[in-house]
Homo-oligomer: A and B are copies of this chain.
Amino acid sequence: MASARAGCQDAPVNRAALRVLVTGGTFDKDYHELEGRLYFRQTHVQEMLRLGRCKLAVEVETLMLIDSLEMTDADRQRVLAACRAAPEERVVITHGTDTMEQTARTIGAAGLAKTIVLTGAMVPYTFGSSDGLFNLGSALAFAQALPPGTYVAMNGRFFRWDDVRKNRLTGVFEERG
């Protein structure tokens, strides 16, 4: 089924149906004017899709809005369950970068017959200098064009779920090697 989607013999097919699962992360943080701190108000994914003039049939589902350092095993199981339950074969997950590799392993190890791409941002979208819009464009494209599997899309690249880590010193994603 999945092979029909991204087969070699056939030309690649442009499947629009794609689900974005929102979990929070730096991506979606806002500045709280009265308290002078970062917090979650709501996701910016829809606004970013509008800005990108995105015409894919995207379903956005907010699972949680948390910092990924606070994500528990139970939260990860919830994300995995949402991937499994999604009627779409292509899923993008927005996620904090600090524990993105752990969630990727939880989902990747489940071996679903779907293309699942985790992405996030180093700087909140609401900041002028965010990488969020670039990463979202990149993740949606990888989700459409890569064969089934679980991937991380950061820094303009994609990584397989079992070969990725965030370099804590540089903030850059790289192969585990």
- Using CB atoms and an 8 Å cutoff, list the residues of chain A in contact with chain B: 3, 7-8, 11-12, 14, 16, 26, 31, 33-34, 36-38, 48-49, 51-56, 58, 67, 98, 122-124, 126-131, 133-142, 144-147, 149, 153-160, 168-169, 171-173, 175
Contacts and interface: CB of A to CB of B under 8 A. Distances in A.
Nearest to A124: B31
B54 A158 contact: no
Given A55-B157, A129-B126, A138 B141 contact: yes
A155 B53 contact: yes
Count copies of this chain in the complex. Answer: 4
Given A138-B137, A141-B141, A156 B55 contact: yes
Contacts of A26: 36
Contacts of A131: 51-53
